[in-house]
Amino acid sequence: MLHMLQEPKPIPVLQKSNPTPGLQESNPIQMLQKINPIQQLAEISSSHASGRLDVASGLVSWRIYIQDGDLKYVECSVQSLSQLNYHLCRQGWNDAHKALKQMPKSELGADAIATGLYWLLENQHLALDQAAEILKNTTQNSLESYLWLTEGSTSWSEQMELPEWVTAIMGNSMTMDLGDLVKTLQKKIRTWQKSAPAIDSPYVRPYILDYRNISKVVPNGTLSDAALKKLSQVMRGFSIRQLSLLLKQDELHVAQMLSPYIQKRVIYLRNPQQPFDQLPRIPRPMRSNPPKPVKAKHTEVYKIVCIDDSPTILSEIKRFLTDQRFQVTAVNDPIEASSIIFRIKPDLILLDISMPKINGYRLCGLLRSSSMFDNTPIIMVTGNTGFLDKARAKLAGATDYLTKPFTSEGLNAFVYKYLKVT
C-alpha cells in the first residue's frame, strides 16, 4: 500500500467552476459571505448531484465528495493525530491506539489521518475494514464542523475524483445517505444549543479556577462536591471530547453535565488547542424576538359640552360633530350648565353668549374661577361680531370666538384645533 501513499497536497484556493443550483461561484479573492450549509447540502441531495463541494472559511477548508446525492467522503484541512487516536479509543481499538504512539514522526505527512491509517495498516495494527470505519467517522466529524459554519466561500465542481488513498481503503461502494446524516447532525447541533448553551465546541477545555467554588450552589447541577473535585483532577487540560473517552460517556452528555457549572462560573473554559482553534464554533441559536403584542389602537373619546338656549343650534352642533371620537352633551339651560360641566369634566366647551338668566361671559368667568378648567378650551359661539364683544369674551377667559352662522367645516376646524385631534 505504500506506493499508493502520497503526501496529500494542500487544498488549493477555490477556483471558478460550474455552479450547481443554490451554490455560488467562488473566486480566489472572494469575500466571505453568509452561507447556510444545511440548505446547500439539502439542495445537492435532492438533486442527486455528483461532484465536489469546496468550502473555505478563514484558515480552514473542506472538500465534500458527493455521488448521486449521497455522501462519499469529507476532507477537512484541520487534521491531527489526536483525532485518529480519539476514534481508535472510541471504537475500543486500544492496541492500535498504543501502537500509533510508536509511529516515527518522520513518517507523519501533511494529512495526519491518512499517514496514521496507512502506518497502522502496513504494520498490521489495523484491518482494512477498521480503517474504513475510521474514515466513515472522520467524515461525519468533518461534515459536522462544516455545518457549524455561518459564513464562507463555496464552489461546486462536477468532477468527483476521490483521493487515491481514500478509494484504496473505502472502495467505491461505501456511501452514506447525505440527507439522513445532515438531519442527524442538525438534531445534534440543536441539542448542543439547548442542553449545553455555555459550550460552543467539543474541543474547549474545562478547568476549575478556584476550588473554593466547588461547594457553590448550582441550580440544575447534578454533581456532588466530591464528584466535582474528582472530576477537576481528571480534566488536566483535556477537551470535552477527550473527557468523554476518559469518562466513557457521550461527549454531549459530558457537556450537559458541565454546562450548569460553567454558567455559574464554577468551571471555566479554555479555547481549543491548535489546530482545532481554527474550526468554527457551534452556532448560537437564532434569537427569535417574540412578536410584540399588537396594542389595540386606543381611540380617545373627547367629551364636548354645548350650552345654548336654542334647540336648533344645539341640534346643528351635534349633527356637525359626527366624529365617533366626540361625545357631545347638549345643554339648553345655562343655570343647569355649571353642575353638568363639573360632573362631566369636558375636554372642550362650546358656549353661547346671549342666554337668559346668565349670559355666556358670566358662565365663562365662573368656570375659569375653578382650577379644574384652567386648561379647558372654551369657545364662545355667538352672532355678535363686534370688536368689543370679542374683547369682552377674551377678558372673561374665552379661548376663541366662533361666529354664527357657522359651517360644519368651520366648527370642526375649531374643535380639531383645540382638542389636537389627529
What's the pLDDT band for 293 if we cut at 50, 70, 90? low
**Contact by Cβ (8 Å): 328, 315:** no
What's the pLDDT band for 120 if we cut at 50, 70, 90? very high
- My answer on whether 40 and 171 are in the same domain is yes
- My answer on whether 20 and 44 are in the same domain is yes
- My answer on whether 6 and 149 are in the same domain is yes
More confident site: 172 or 152: 152
On the question of pLDDT at 126 being above 70, the answer is yes
All residues at 6 or more sequence positions from 100 whose CB lies less than 8 Å from its CB, including other chains: 81, 84, 85, 88, 116, 119, 120, 125
| Closest among 155, 152, 146 to 185, alpha carbons compared | 146
Indicate whether 385 belongs to any domain.
Answer: yes
More confident site: 178 or 292: 178
**Can you spell out the DSSP letters for 362-403?**
HHHHHHHTSGGGTT--EEEEES---HHHHHHHHHHT-SEEEE
Backbone angles phi, psi at 330, to 5 degrees: -95, 135
- Write the pLDDT tens digit of every residue in 307-342: 998 888 898 899 889 888 899 999 998 888 888 998
- Write the pLDDT tens digit of every residue in 209-266: 888 888 888 998 899 989 998 888 888 889 999 999 988 899 999 999 999 999 988 9
**Contact by Cβ (8 Å): 300, 327:** no
What's the pLDDT band for 295 if we cut at 50, 70, 90? low
- Write the pLDDT tens digit of every residue in 364-411: 888 888 888 888 999 988 887 777 778 888 888 999 988 888 888 889
Indicate whether 257 belongs to any domain.
Answer: yes
Q: What is the rounded average pLDDT for all residues in the chain?
A: 83
On the question of pLDDT at 144 being above 80, the answer is yes
Distances (CA, A) of 413 to 307, 320, 386, 408, 419: 19, 11, 22, 8, 10
Q: What is the pLDDT of residue 242?
A: 92
- My answer on whether 15 and 125 are in the same domain is yes
Indicate whether 79 belongs to any domain.
Answer: yes
Indicate whether 285 belongs to any domain.
Answer: no
| Helix pair angle (225-235, 240-247), 10° resolution | 120
- My answer on whether 175 and 242 are in the same domain is no
Q: What is the pLDDT of residue 200?
A: 92
Q: What is the pLDDT of residue 31?
A: 58
- My answer on whether 51 and 176 are in the same domain is yes
On the question of pLDDT at 286 being above 80, the answer is no
| Domain boundary residue, one of 278, 293, 316 | 278
- My answer on whether 188 and 200 are in the same domain is no
Q: What is the pLDDT of residue 3?
A: 31
On the question of pLDDT at 142 being above 80, the answer is yes
CA distance 378 to 364: 8
DSSP β-bridge partners for residue 401: 380
Q: What is the pLDDT of residue 328?
A: 93
- My answer on whether 155 and 265 are in the same domain is no
Q: What is the pLDDT of residue 16?
A: 31
- Write the pLDDT tens digit of every residue in 14-57: 233 333 333 333 344 445 688 899 888 988 888 888 999 999 99
Indicate whether 389 belongs to any domain.
Answer: yes
Average pLDDT of span 272-298: 73
- My answer on whether 247 and 178 are in the same domain is no
- What range does the domain containing 346 cover? 302-419
**Contact by Cβ (8 Å): 103, 116:** yes
- Grid coordinates representing 162? 476521490
CATH assignment of the domain containing 260:
1.10.10
What's the pLDDT band for 355 if we cut at 50, 70, 90? confident
Indicate whether 295 belongs to any domain.
Answer: no
- My answer on whether 187 and 200 are in the same domain is no
- Grid coordinates representing 402? 366662533
- My answer on whether 201 and 157 are in the same domain is no
CATH assignment of the domain containing 323:
3.40.50.2300
Average pLDDT of span 114-138: 91
CA angle, residues 151, 153, 155, in degrees to nearest 5: 140
Indicate whether 290 belongs to any domain.
Answer: no
Q: What is the pLDDT of residue 289?
A: 57
More confident site: 173 or 320: 320
pTM of the model as a whole: 0.60
| Domain boundary residue, one of 229, 263, 278 | 278
On the question of pLDDT at 12 being above 60, the answer is no
Q: What is the pLDDT of residue 22?
A: 36
- My answer on whether 306 and 271 are in the same domain is no
Q: Give me the number of domains the chain comprises.
A: 3
Q: What is the pLDDT of residue 422?
A: 67
- Write the pLDDT tens digit of every residue in 53-83: 999 998 999 999 999 999 999 999 998 888 8
